[in-house]
Structure 1
Amino acid sequence: MKIEITTDPAEFRSRTEKFLRRAPLRHTVITTGTANAASGLDGSNEPSRFLSAHAEDGTVLGVAMRSAGRDLYLGELADSCVDVVAEALAEIAPDAGGVEGSFETATRFGDRWSAMHDVGYRHAYTTRLYRLRTLRFPEAAGSPRRAVESDIELCHDWSQAMQVESGMSPQGWTATLVGKRIAAGRWWLWENEGRPVSLAAHQTPVFGWSRIGPVYTPPADRGHGYGGILTAHVAHTLRAEGIDVCLFADIDNPTSNKIYRAIGFEPAGEFVHYAFT
């Protein structure tokens, strides 16, 4: 078995494109991470690292990633290479604070990591991946618009608030990064009576898929359907361009899961995040 690790997203994509194209929905985090690194939208001066595991004949057995400043993320990995991948990532990212992946793969990885570093790991959260089927629009007062330069401060503040509230792995939403993504036309606001009341964004489309997120409504404006209708609007905009749509939700947040199901998203998988202790 051969392990290849690179900070060059183009090099990683050339090695793994056929493998990733077979399951673009499953690998939405890795494909968008690669796209963001290639375009300078990964939010850090530290380079992301991309790993691929190969059989002797060159067949790709699995992929993993350590985005700049974040925890480890595991794509599909053959059982035979999970321990080897853990050992390889331990060499280049010994300071990683956790790992995310499918339950079976992340648990085996966590066992091997713990044995190597003499640490434990605990469940931090589990997310559910949704894919859009038949889109349905809820009703809510107001209208959508793309965020513009003058919205950077607001969008940055809201993204920071969402990160604190969710308790999930840090996203690295600096004001500079938010500004770049707004300039790319990927962040939206819902307004009611001229006042922004909800935020939704989407990732760069890759292999025919785009992932919506973050989605945030300040506490004082919740319960009016703003987040749901803005998510539906962004999804409709992407669909109109021939792009399939997905998103993640924390399984412990019944409100967001209910909203996404109501507008036409269906579960497509679950992923556990472990924190090393």
Structure 2
Amino acid sequence: MRIEITADAARYRAVTEALLLRDPLRHTVITTAIANHLAGMQADAERSRFLSVHDDEAAVIGAAMRAAGRGVYLGELPAGSVAAVADAMAEVARDVGGVEGAIDDATEFAQRWGCRHGVDFVEAYSTRLYRLAELSFPETAGTPRRATESDVALCVGWTEAMRVESGMPSPTLNAIAVRNRIATGRWWLWERDGRPVSLAAHQIPVFGWSRIGPVYTPPEERGHGYASILTAHVARTLRWQGLNVCLFADLANPTSNKIYRAIGFEPVRDFRHYQFTPPPTER
């Protein structure tokens, strides 16, 4: 087994494409990150690192990454390789704040990282990956529209509110990042009586899949089905483009999991994010 790490997203895509194509749904986070790097949509892209695991015949059998500003993300990894992946990533990204992946792999990585660096780790959140099956539409008042330049400040504020409320340590999308994504037509608003009441976006399509997210409704607008209908609208738009559709839901949020199931999303796999923390000070 051999591990290679590169900062070149184009090279990494070429090397790992066969593995990623075998299960593009499983690797939606990695493929989207690669696409964002290649499209110039990733801030501080030079800080990202992409890892591949190779067998004795040089075939790629595992993938992981550290996107700029985020923790380590684990894709499919062969049995017995997680500790070696953690050690290799530590050589190029010592400052990572956490790890996310399938529960068993993420746990083993966190344990290895903790032992190696003398840090503790805690479960920050767990998510469930869903794929769209038969789409169902709820009845909700209002209309959808694509976000425009004039909506940048609103979208920045709502995504930051979502980050704070969820407790997920993902980086804030600044005005430049949101403006660039709005310009691609991938951010949507649901309007009621001429005012925006909910937000839903989707990621850049890769390998026939597009992932919906973020999805957010301000607290004062909840309970009316706006997120459900807007998510369904975005999903239908993607379906019309011939794309498969997926999304993640926070397992600590039963409401979001319920509404996604109600409009036709089926669970695929659970993931866990561990955050690394300094050990407690001895007294």
Superposed pair shares fold, TM > 0.5: yes
> Which residue is 1:222 aligned to?
222
Secondary structure in structure 1 of the residue aligned to 2:75:
strand
Is the CA contact (8 Å cut-off) linking 1:3 and 1:54 kept in structure 2? yes
The equivalent of 2:251 in structure 1 is 251
Q: What's 2:185 paired with? A: 185
Deviant stretches of 4+, over 4 Å: none
Q: Find the residue that maps to 1:79 and give its secondary structure.
A: coil
Aligned-partner Cα distance in 1 for 2:230–2:44: 28
| Residue aligning to 2:19 | 19
Q: Does residue 1:163 correspond to 2:163, yes or no?
A: yes
Q: Which structure 2 segments of 5+ residues have no match?
A: 278-283
Q: How does 1:207-218 map to 2 (within 5 A)?
A: 207-218=207-218
Q: Which residue of 2 is the match for residue 132 of structure 1? A: 132
Give me the whole-angstrom Cα distance separating, in 2, the residues matched to 1:2 and 1:232.
43
- Matching residue of 2:231: 231
Query: 8 Å contact 1:48–1:66 — kept in the other structure?
Result: yes
* Change beyond 3 A, Cα 1:45–1:61: closer
Counterpart of 1:230 in structure 2: which amino acid?
L
SS at match of 2:204: coil
CA distance in 1, matches of 2:101, 2:91: 19
TM-aligned CA deviation for residue 169 of structure 1: 2.3
Q: Partners in 2 of 1:139 and 1:274 — Cα distance?
A: 38
The aligned residue for residue 4 of structure 1 is 4
Counterpart Cα distance in 1 of 2:138 and 2:3: 48
CA contact 1:71–1:169 (8 Å) conserved in 2: no
Q: CA deviation at 1:99?
A: 0.2
Report how far residue 44 of structure 1 moved: 3.3
Distance 1:70 1:175 in 2: 19
Does the 8 Å contact 1:43/1:172 carry over to 2?
A: no
Distance in 1 (alpha carbons) for counterparts of 2:46 and 2:89: 16
Deviations, residues 74-117 of structure 1 (Å, cap 9, x unaligned): 00111222111100111111111110001111111111111110
Task: Name 2:104's counterpart in structure 1.
Answer: 104
TM-score normalized by structure 2?
A: 0.96
Q: What RMSD over aligned residues (CA atoms) do the two structures have, in Å?
A: 1.0
Q: Deviation per CA, 1:196-243: give whole Å up to 9, x if none.
A: 000000001101100000000011100011000000000000000110
CA contact (8 A) 1:215 1:227 kept: yes
Residue 46 of structure 1, CA deviation: 4.4
> How many aligned positions are there?
277
Once the 2 structures are TM-superposed, how far is the Cα of residue 178 of structure 1 from its aligned partner? 0.2
Instruction: Give the distance between the partners of 2:183 and 2:91, measured in 1 at CA.
Output: 37
Alignment of 1:22-37 (within 5 A): 22-37=22-37
Mapped contact 1:47–1:67 kept (Cα < 8 A):
yes
One-letter code aligned to 2:183: A
Tell whether the 8 Å contact from 1:121 to 1:275 is kept in structure 2 after alignment: yes
Distance in 1 (alpha carbons) for counterparts of 2:46 and 2:3: 21
Question: Match of 1:248, as an amino acid?
Answer: F
Q: Which residue of 2 aligns with 1:42?
A: 42
Percent of pairs with identical residues: 63
Q: CA deviation at 1:45?
A: 5.4
| Structure 1: unaligned runs, 5 residues or longer | none
1:121 to 2:121 alignment = yes
Query: Helix, strand or coil for the counterpart of 2:76?
Result: strand
Q: Which residue of structure 2 aligns with residue 54 of structure 1? A: 54
What is the distance in 2 between the residues matched to 1:172 and 1:11? 28
Aligned to 1:68: 68
Q: Give the match for residue 78 of structure 1.
A: 78
On the 8 A contact 2:45/2:67 being kept in 1, the answer is: no
**Other-structure match for 2:281:** none
Q: Contact 1:43–1:174 (CA<8 Å) still a contact in 2? A: no
Provide the secondary structure at the position in 1 that maps to 2:123: strand
| Cα separation, 2, equivalents of 1:209 and 1:194 | 32
Question: Is 116-125 or 262-271 further displaced after alignment?
Answer: 116-125
Amino acid aligned to 2:14: S
TM-score (norm 1): 0.98
